Chains A and B, each alone.
Chain A
Amino acid sequence: MEFKGKDIISIKDFSKEELLYILSIAKKIEKNPDPNLLKTKIASLLFFEPSTRTRLSFSSAMKRLGGNTIGFAQGEVSSIKKGETLWDTIKMAEQYSDVIVMRHPLEGAARLAADAATIPVINAGDGANQHPTQTLLDLYTIQKEKGKLENLNVGFLGDLKYGRTVHSLAIALSHFKAKMFFISPTALKMPKHYLTELKQKKIKFTEVRDLSKVSKQIDVLYATRIQKERFPDQLEYEKYKNAFRLDKSTLDISKKDMIIMHPLPRVGEIDPELDDTKNAVYFKQAGNGIPVRQALLSLVLGKIQ
């Protein structure tokens, strides 16, 4: 499978075989990392909006394989303040590096960057649109923890309307015959066009407002943050915020081996009392970002075939 020079922009660009191949490379790297694999390679980390986890994870992934990074961590840098276009910033960055990793507040910015650049571009989040490396590390976590990706019952909990990680993961899991449970307040339901897409792919799903109605069936519970700013009415927010809170009582009504995932940061959706249980895998999930991003960087740089 040829990945050299390829851009990683949207999870929709990948076939099932390609997804599995990337995960297999991540597994290999995690088992047997080569600290010199990306020696002499430089990644431009262009973060036009702040991000802690993703930026540090890419930086660590690069450095642990012997590579280097340059870049900036917010949009208030000189060139953007001066009004430089994204296109020009990318044309500049490609002179200085071998791969571009970019986060941008505007949707579609990553696709534009890929059009501008002659070197590979990895999308580290473009607005509310795509964040493919997050989806890949979610898949990697599920595969690692459950030993498979096929035929799992996956529950998505919380803000399903705006949560891009949920949208991308649902689409990715549709390759693996997952049965899906969408658990959310009515105001934050999964957007219709995603449900239509799932129907077209013959994926079985159920929409409910109450986790306890379906929790006994769930193998993987993917919780997300309900963001205060999404509610026009703060009373509405107060009403919902605790209805989607997980704690030890959740485990009493769930399968023993159910895993709890969360893209982080959490703001009260998961009680810290769950952190030490074997069901909680969200911190391991964040750690899985390293081998997955190492795999992607090595693949697009042509260092692993």
Chain B
Amino acid sequence: MKQGSKKELKVPAIKDGTVIDHIPSRVTFKVMRILDLREFNQAISVALNLKSKALGKKGIIKVGNRFLTQDEVNKIAILAPKATVNIIKDYEVKEKINVDLPDEIHNIIKCSNPKCITNNEKVKTSFSILSKTPLQALCNHCERVMEAKDITLI
């Protein structure tokens, strides 16, 4: 945020790090889990239930001294396809990363088939994205094709 701005900051600005904005509020903590932020020992600010025109309620995560990569950002695409990710250096936005659903996602979503081995044994799930719009994800174990409505998170 530039000096002199009158806009109220809901979450303190960070000097260096990553700001993830426009996360659907209810998945904010899941995004933290997927990005392994819960164990991260630097300053992290999280805000939930902020007003958002596009999402209704949104969440924001600000992580100090960590710069997410495109691959990391893509991991949250299935949860927060409209998220915006800004890399901050010395209080300035240095880079904007768009989330892009990867071709494969590992251990983020569950298979909707109750007879799939991944729902019966402790196994990491793995899906191939056959189509991004409309979303179609193929379970690499049981070969079931899931649509957006079938998807639940682990």
Identify the A interface with B (CB < 8 A).
Answer: 10, 12, 85-87, 104-109, 111-112, 126-130, 193
B: interface residue count bin: 10 to 19
What are 25 inter-chain pairs, A to B, with CB distance below 8 A? A10-B143, A12-B143, A85-B121, A86-B117, A105-B115, A106-B115, A106-B117, A106-B121, A106-B142, A107-B113, A107-B116, A107-B143, A108-B111, A108-B117, A108-B139, A108-B141, A111-B140, A111-B142, A112-B118, A112-B123, A112-B141, A126-B117, A126-B142, A127-B115, A128-B115
Q: A107: which B residues are within 8 A, CB to CB?
A: 113, 115-117, 141-144
Q: A193: which B residues are within 8 A, CB to CB?
A: 145
Which residues of B100-131 are within 8 A (CB) of A?
111, 113, 115-118, 120-123
A107-B116, A108-B116 known; A130+B143 contact, CB < 8 A: yes
Q: Which of B121, B139, B144, B145 contacts A86 (CB 8 A)?
A: B121
| Cα distance A112–B125 in the bound complex, in angstroms | 10
Please provide the 8 A-B residue pairs with the shortest distance between their CB atoms, ordered closest to farther.
Answer: A108-B141, A107-B142, A108-B142, A108-B117, A109-B117, A106-B117, A111-B141, A108-B116
| Cα distance A129–B120 in the bound complex, in angstroms | 15
Within the complex, the shortest CB–CB distance from A113 to chain B, in Å, comes to 9
Within the complex, the shortest CB–CB distance from A273 to chain B, in Å, comes to 38
Q: B145: which A residues are within 8 A, CB to CB?
A: 193
Q: B123: which A residues are within 8 A, CB to CB?
A: 87, 112
| Cα distance A130–B52 in the bound complex, in angstroms | 46
Q: A106: which B residues are within 8 A, CB to CB?
A: 115-117, 120-121, 142
| Cα distance A112–B122 in the bound complex, in angstroms | 11
Q: Which of B122, B142, B143 contacts A85 (CB 8 A)?
A: B122
Q: A86: which B residues are within 8 A, CB to CB?
A: 117, 121
| Cα distance A130–B144 in the bound complex, in angstroms | 11
Q: A105: which B residues are within 8 A, CB to CB?
A: 115
Q: B143: which A residues are within 8 A, CB to CB?
A: 10, 12, 107-108, 129-130
Q: A10: which B residues are within 8 A, CB to CB?
A: 143
| Cα distance A49–B137 in the bound complex, in angstroms | 29
Q: A107-B142, A126-B142 are in contact. List 17 more A-B contacts (CB 8 A).
A: A10-B143, A86-B117, A106-B120, A106-B142, A107-B113, A107-B116, A107-B141, A108-B118, A108-B140, A109-B117, A109-B141, A111-B142, A112-B117, A112-B123, A112-B141, A127-B115, A193-B145
Q: B113: which A residues are within 8 A, CB to CB?
A: 107
Closest to A128 in B: B115
Q: B118: which A residues are within 8 A, CB to CB?
A: 108, 112
Within the complex, the shortest CB–CB distance from A128 to chain B, in Å, comes to 7
Q: A126: which B residues are within 8 A, CB to CB?
A: 117, 142
| Cα distance A130–B142 in the bound complex, in angstroms | 8
Q: B117: which A residues are within 8 A, CB to CB?
A: 86, 104, 106-109, 111-112, 126
